[in-house]
Structure 1
């Protein structure tokens, strides 16, 4: 059985009102019934934390595919992850997992009425551009979320303006599934 690991923060974990429910797994499992989906999303995590837990939460499982989805917390001015560290961390994560296994996701949009100071659009775009450049440099599939989500942020985000709504997870699941369908050896269920 092929194995995919979803590596990320609370958005990957499926966070809603203080509870995680792995709803992203469900979105993938609907189309890929023969795929083992392991969720390695940790609320509050950053690329720095991901590096510390990469062996225990990802590499030891020998996955066929790993989605790498960080940025919501890294971009926060409160977390202290500079753009330079974000880039260096993402590159290390990609290299340790192996480029052939990685699907890289860009930074998600967050409600600018609520997060302008902490996660302003200029900062979101800077971190997103960095992730996109890493994807291009390492020839990784890249999932662009920032601008797609911005168009319908009221639909895709919960009231907190940061975490995904059910519609947001449907969108995210569809985008990941599109990339999985392009990979050889990952069959639909």
Structure 2
């Protein structure tokens, strides 16, 4: 399990050169919107376009007639520092009602101070809330070979930031996927199309309660 996690996190970092963002707006219909700010786990790396969990979530929102549309501003290899840098422009451009933050794993791979990662996530949540958006944070794990204390504190910082700002939290975004080899692409690193439905389900369980009635 932990070997796979090391590879997953390494891939997220090494893909930083790609700068691949997925399609921005899923629909042009005016209405409430959700902004996703993440890394390759949300940027459809290695997947057919519109087959990732963000696209699946968009379809569910449509089927449930919520009125929400999604803007995906995820970039492969991004860090929380990158998120802090580009979030203001994204907020100004999309004016989202909800912001989903899926960042932090690349910080851990580089061994960056946990206080910095936590501070960056906190800044992102604060910026989103100041723009009158609700926030959903996607929590992550790293393997214990980075040091049990570091790994436990890394996972805990997501809950700490959520509690500090009264934001919603997915405790572990990759729940039910990390130990299942059938959920990964042929490279053995990135979640495949089969896994996207479970990722979407993990997010939906915590997103649905904060959606505003249509």
* Residue 61 of structure 2, aligned match among 6, 26, 32: 32
Please give the residue correspondences for 1:31-180 in structure 2 after superposition, counting only pairs within 5 Å: 31-33=60-62, 34-77=67-110, 81-98=112-129, 101-108=134-141, 123-145=150-172, 148-149=175-176, 152-180=179-207
Distance in 2 of aligned mates of 1:132 and 1:161: 29
2:17 is matched with none
Offset at residue 153 of structure 1 (A): 3.7
- Structure-2-length-normalised TM-score: 0.71
Q: Deviations over 1:60-118 (max 9, x none)?
A: 311001100112211103xx532111011011001011175100110156xx6xxx76x
Offset at residue 137 of structure 1 (A): 2.1
Distance in 2 of aligned mates of 1:16 and 1:173: 17
Q: Deviations over 1:26-83 (max 9, x none)?
A: 2112211132111010011000011111122234311001100112211103xx5321
CA RMSD of aligned residues (A): 2.8
Structure 2 spans left out of the alignment, 5+ residues: 1-30
Distance 1:135 1:90, change over 3 A: same
Larger-gyration structure (1/2): 2
Structure 1 spans left out of the alignment, 5+ residues: none
- Structure-1-length-normalised TM-score: 0.79
Work out the number of aligned pairs and report it.
Answer: 178
